[in-house]
């Protein structure tokens, strides 16, 4: 027995940490997507065109993508406790303020502000999992916390629809904002890194570290000591490797399908397919449940194959490539008219998106060890560009009252992502930092 407890039986604190990260992700995506539930009513009240609505949907992505790299640097430098607390409380406060918006300009600005404060969240999630979990548990851990964006929205879609129905779209923003503020305060008192956590015994720390978890950075006040300061050289390093570009492009493609469901999907069902609002809320839950199932299947199957000594190239890439190819099936909704068949194709496509959503494992596995957060920031920056581009492109493609071209566009993104993983990523192994940058050549 030592000060951390039994040295023979590892504690399981990492799973309580994972549960809290899961809740963070649920709240994160609730505040990204509540605008989609409110959109039909906001559009009517402010007399917005489909192009204006597309701009509001994409405004979050402008700042979110732009600040991914600074967000990744912050995750590396200051640690998850401080970064996540500030991020959660601030984006939730801005969510609440949306309930007082008076027009197009105010909503546009507030959506941009939410993007600012959510920017560090996913690089921080990846830093937490890389710190708390050995490599043979990491894909499962990523699948669990990432599933928050699907399972949370699957169950929240009907709830948010009902809240909007009874409290109005302004009440929807106020209530969801208050939830996040309370949880952000809880996070500050709850989270600690492994070496700082009073309930994690030495056996658990050894289990994490021997399995490749990066727990060797000692924190004091959540500022990482002995960590090299940011260097512009590191930023250049994040852009010169072909295999990193493979996952960057793949993440943009993955985000294309996701952002359709986070923004335009309810409007598609109501305005372009003629479903009533409450019915659309319940039907909209089905694709998120399908994505949740795909994600958990992907994560646990991938880790199972790793434990069975299957090559990482097969164990990690196969679910991602298969899922991206399945996401192309969204185009099938153009050729059917019944709500059941429309939802079937939406479920199949989003199941594929979920199956492919363990992509953060490639950041943990490929990035240089001292650049996990920075590489995650670049990765999510390029993925976040989908949040800017896709809603606007869909708005233009649907401006003549026809949504079919928009679904073809989203399906083509999935195909491009699959090809990126097949031809660019190459062998799944950690990149060693080059001694000097060799111009702009891809290594």
CATH number, domain of 20, equals 1.20.1250.20
Residue 224 dihedral angles phi and psi, to the nearest 5°? -70, 125
Please, is 274 exposed, middle or buried when counting C-beta atoms within 10 Å of its C-beta (0-12, 13-18, 19+)?
exposed
Average pLDDT over residues 150-170: 80
pLDDT digits (tens, 9 = 90+) for 29-80: 888 878 888 888 888 888 888 788 888 888 888 898 888 778 877 877 788 8
Identify which of 237, 163, 154, 158 has the alpha carbon closest to the alpha carbon of residue 433: 237
Please give the DSSP secondary-structure letter assigned to residue 5. Answer: B
Q: Higher-confidence residue: 71 or 330?
A: 330
Residue 213 lies in a domain: yes
Show the DSSP H helices in 215-358 as ranges: 232-237, 242-259, 265-267, 277-283, 285-307, 312-327, 339-355
Residue 434 lies in a domain: no
Which pLDDT band holds residue 277 (cuts at 50, 70, 90)?
low
Residue 437 lies in a domain: no
Residue 435 lies in a domain: no
Please, is 189 exposed, middle or buried when counting C-beta atoms within 10 Å of its C-beta (0-12, 13-18, 19+)?
exposed
pLDDT digits (tens, 9 = 90+) for 82-105: 999 999 999 999 999 998 988 888
Is 220's pLDDT higher than 60? no
Distances (CA, A) of 2 to 5, 209, 215, 343: 5, 18, 19, 56
Residue 193 lies in a domain: yes
Is 216's pLDDT higher than 50? yes
Average pLDDT over residues 122-145: 85
Q: Would you say 249 and 419 are in contact if contact means Cβ atoms under 8 Å apart? A: no
Q: Would you say 330 and 407 are in contact if contact means Cβ atoms under 8 Å apart? A: yes
Q: Would you say 295 and 147 are in contact if contact means Cβ atoms under 8 Å apart? A: yes
Q: How would you label 85-122 residue by residue, b for 16+ Cβ within 10 Å and e otherwise? A: bbbbbbbbbbbbbbbebeebeebbebbbbbbbbbbbbb
Is 208's pLDDT higher than 60? yes
Number of compact structural domains in the chain: 1
Which pLDDT band holds residue 440 (cuts at 50, 70, 90)?
very low
Is 321's pLDDT higher than 50? yes
Residue 441 lies in a domain: no
Dump the DSSP string for 391-430.
HHHHHHHTTTS--HHHHHHHHHHHHHHHHHHHHTS-S--P
Residue 54 lies in a domain: yes
Domain containing residue 381: 13-423
* Helix and strand counts by DSSP (H, E) for the chain: 19, 2
Q: 402-405 contacts: CB < 8 A, separation 24 or more?
A: 403/268, 403/272, 404/334
Average pLDDT over residues 265-283: 74
Task: State residue 222's pLDDT score.
Answer: 41
Residue 443 lies in a domain: no
Please give the DSSP secondary-structure letter assigned to residue 238. Answer: T
Q: What is the pTM of this model?
A: 0.70
Dump the DSSP string for 125-171.
HHHHHHHHS-HHHHHHHHHHHHTHHHHHHHHHHHHHHHHHHHHHHHH
């Amino acid at each position: 027995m030592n000060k951390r407890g039994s040295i023979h039986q590892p504690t399981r604190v990492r799973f309580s940490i994972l549960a809290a990260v899961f809740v963070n992700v649920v709240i994160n995506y609730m505040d990204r997507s509540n605008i989609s539930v409110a959109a039909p009513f906001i559009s009517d009240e402010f007399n917005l065109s489909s192009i204006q609505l597309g701009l509001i949907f994409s405004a979050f992505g402008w700042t979110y993508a732009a600040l991914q790299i600074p967000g990744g640097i912050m995750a590396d430098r200051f640690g998850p406790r401080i970064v996540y607390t500030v991020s959660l409380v601030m984006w939730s406060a801005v969510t609440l303020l949306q309930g007082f918006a008076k027009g197009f300009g105010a909503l546009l600005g507030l959506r941009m502000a939410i993007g600012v404060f959510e920017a560090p969240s996913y690089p921080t999630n990846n830093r937490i999992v890389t710190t708390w979990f050995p490599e043979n548990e990491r894909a499962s851990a990523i699948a669990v916390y990432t599933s928050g964006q699907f399972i949370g929205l699957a169950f929240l879609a009907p709830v948010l629809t009902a809240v909007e129905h009874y409290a109005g779209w302004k009440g929807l923003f106020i209530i969801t904002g208050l939830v996040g503020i309370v949880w952000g305060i809880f996070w500050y008192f709850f989270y600690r890194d492994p070496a700082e956590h009073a309930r994690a015994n030495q056996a658990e720390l050894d289990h994490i570290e021997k399995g490749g978890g990066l727990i060797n950075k000692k924190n004091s006040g959540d500022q990482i000591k002995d960590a090299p300061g940011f260097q512009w050289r590191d930023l250049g390093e994040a852009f010169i490797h072909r295999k990193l570009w493979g996952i960057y492009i793949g993440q943009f493609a993955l985000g294309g399908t996701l952002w359709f469901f986070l923004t335009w999907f309810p409007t598609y069902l109501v305005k372009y397919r003629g479903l009533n609002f409450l019915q659309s809320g319940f039907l909209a839950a089905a694709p998120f449940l399908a994505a949740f199932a795909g994600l958990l299947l992907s994560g646990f199957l991938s880790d199972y194959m790793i434990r069975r000594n299957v090559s990482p190239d097969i164990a990690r890439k196969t679910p991602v490539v298969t899922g991206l190819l399945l996401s192309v099936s969204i185009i099938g909704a153009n050729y059917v008219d019944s709500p059941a068949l429309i939802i079937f194709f939406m479920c199949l496509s989003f199941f594929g998106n979920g199956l492919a959503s363990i992509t953060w494992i490639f950041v943990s596995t490929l990035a240089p060890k001292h650049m996990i957060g920075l590489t995650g920031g670049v990765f999510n920056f390029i993925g976040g560009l989908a949040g800017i581009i896709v809603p606007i492109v869909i708005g233009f493609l649907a401006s003549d009252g026809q949504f079919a071209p928009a679904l073809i566009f989203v399906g083509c993104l999935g195909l491009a992502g699959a090809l990126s993983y097949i031809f660019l990523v190459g062998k799944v192994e950690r990149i060693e930092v080059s001694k000097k940058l060799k111009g702009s050549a891809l290594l």
